[in-house]
Amino acid sequence: MRDRSKPSRYDLTGKKDRQADNMRELHEKLGQTAKDLTTVRGLLAQLDLDGGTAEGADEIEQSVDRTENVTEEVFDRDDEVLEREHGDGESFQSELTERKETSEGNLGRITDATAPLETRETIDQIREGKEAALRDVDFLHDLVQRAMESLQESEDFQEDLRGVRTGGG
């Protein structure tokens, strides 16, 4: 008799895994864009614009400058998408923490209710509820930890790439 308004463990795990996958895909895109930006910046430094014609040198330099600008815009756009994904991840982590705290409260209430019980059958039966609450707490604790680690890893990666974007990498 599962309450359909509450997500299942499968649902919560799937959502966490999808968010982690989305962040990994965005990492890949940002990493490629950062590499392109480094390449374009390096190209401008390597060009020998003293040869050829004045018009040719100007056009080449302008083209490379525009390429750098476009690449920076792509980076900024993808960086904003990743930032929104981080916000969603933080909200989800908060939701998981609230669910874990609720489960911990239920576990405490079941434990408290167990103390005055005297009938063996009653005690055995309530133990099943206590074990179920404990499994829920353990599951949610693990999921919160994994969500936190995934989010921190993504934020660290994003910060490293921002150094490339600003010309520091």
Share of the chain above pLDDT 70, in %: 97
The range of the structural domain enclosing residue 97 comes to 16-165
Share of the chain above pLDDT 90, in %: 83
DSSP state of 169: -
Cα–Cα dist 110/92, whole Å:
27
Residue 155 lies in a domain: yes
Residue 94 lies in a domain: yes
Residue 6 lies in a domain: no
Compute and round to an integer the Cα radius of gyration of the chain: 27
Model confidence, pTM: 0.81
Let me know how long the chain is.
169
Residue 10 lies in a domain: no
Its sign, for the CA torsion 46, 47, 49, 50, is positive
Q: What is the pLDDT of residues 18-61, one digit of tens each?
A: 999 999 999 999 999 999 999 999 998 899 888 889 999 999 99
- Domain count along the chain: 1
Residue 102 lies in a domain: yes
Q: What is the pLDDT of residues 50-65, one digit of tens each?
A: 888 999 999 999 999 9
Residue 2 lies in a domain: no
Q: What is the pLDDT of residues 69-78, one digit of tens each?
A: 999 999 999 9
